[in-house]
Each structure stands twice: as structure tokens, then as C-alpha cells.
């Protein structure tokens, strides 16, 4: 999709996770994939994983995964919010990647007064 958008000069904002916390045996694969996206977006390749989230006008790259980002945002109540996600999708393997899990967990956190600065940054950049 990104190639098509770029070819037709359709403005886009790419959001992806760099998987920096993945098992070391997958690092080369993730770095290759990350650099492919960075290059398609006109950015320089990285030697490894970014040290901090990349937040640019047309690109957001999280250092690790959306799950890790949300765990940081959830704070000490993460188990409560994870339970809301599990209640929504059941106990599936890798359920924390499931969009319904993420939505339910975020809704529970939002209802509890939590706000998501990392997600807010993405939305703010997209709406600029």
C-alpha cells in the first residue's frame, strides 16, 4: 500500500513498530524491514533499532511494539486493562496484537481516566 500511495503521490502517515525488544535471533529481519519502510519514506537507514520513538510529520515508528507502548501507558494498572482486552477476545495466542484486544484495553484505561501521550502524538501529527 505504501508503494502505491508513494507512486500516486497520495499523502500518508506511516505508523509501525520497530520490534526493538524482540528475540535477538529476529533482530536482523526486523532491522531490514524497518529500514525498508524508512527508505520508502525517504529516510536514512538505521544501524539497529531507534533509541527513541521516531515522531515525524509523516512517520511514526515505535522503538518496540504497540503492546510495549501501551504497557508503558497503562502503568501499574496494566493487568486490569489487559483483563478487559482478554474479556473482549478470550485467551487467544498473541491476543495482545488483536485490534479488538487493544481497543478494549484502551477503552478500559480511557474510562479509568488514562490518556495515551504516544497515541495522541500520532493523531496530532496526522491531523496537522
Q: Is pLDDT at 93 greater than 80 in this prediction?
A: no
Q: Once rounded to an integer, what is the mean pLDDT over residues 51-66? A: 92
> At 104, is the pLDDT very low, low, confident or very high (cuts 50, 70, 90)?
very high
pLDDT for the residue 97: 80
Q: Which three cell numbers stand for residue 36?
A: 525498508
Q: Which three cell numbers stand for residue 12?
A: 500518508
> At 90, is the pLDDT very low, low, confident or very high (cuts 50, 70, 90)?
confident
Residue 55, H or E segment = strand 54-56
pLDDT for the residue 1: 87
pLDDT for the residue 108: 96
Instruction: Kindly state the DSSP code that residue 48 receives in the 8-state scheme.
Output: S
Amino acid at each position: 500500500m505504501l508503494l502505491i500511495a508513494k507512486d500516486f503521490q497520495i499523502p500518508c502517515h506511516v505508523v509501525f513498530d520497530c520490534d526493538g525488544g524482540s528475540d535477538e535471533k529476529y533482530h536482523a529481519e526486523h532491522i531490514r524491514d524497518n529500514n525498508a519502510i524508512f527508505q520508502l519514506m525517504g529516510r536514512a537507514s538505521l544501524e539497529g533499532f531507534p533509541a527513541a520513538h521516531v515522531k515525524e510529520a509523516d512517520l511514526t515508528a515505535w522503538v518496540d511494539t504497540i503492546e510495549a507502548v501501551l504497557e508503558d501507558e497503562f502503568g501499574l494498572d496494566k493487568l486490569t486493562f489487559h483483563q478487559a482486552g482478554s474479556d473482549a477476545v478470550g485467551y487467544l495466542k498473541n491476543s495482545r496484537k488483536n485490534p479488538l484486544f487493544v481497543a478494549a484495553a484502551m477503552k478500559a484505561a480511557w474510562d479509568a481516566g488514562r490518556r495515551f501521550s504516544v497515541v495522541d502524538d500520532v493523531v496530532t501529527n496526522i491531523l496537522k
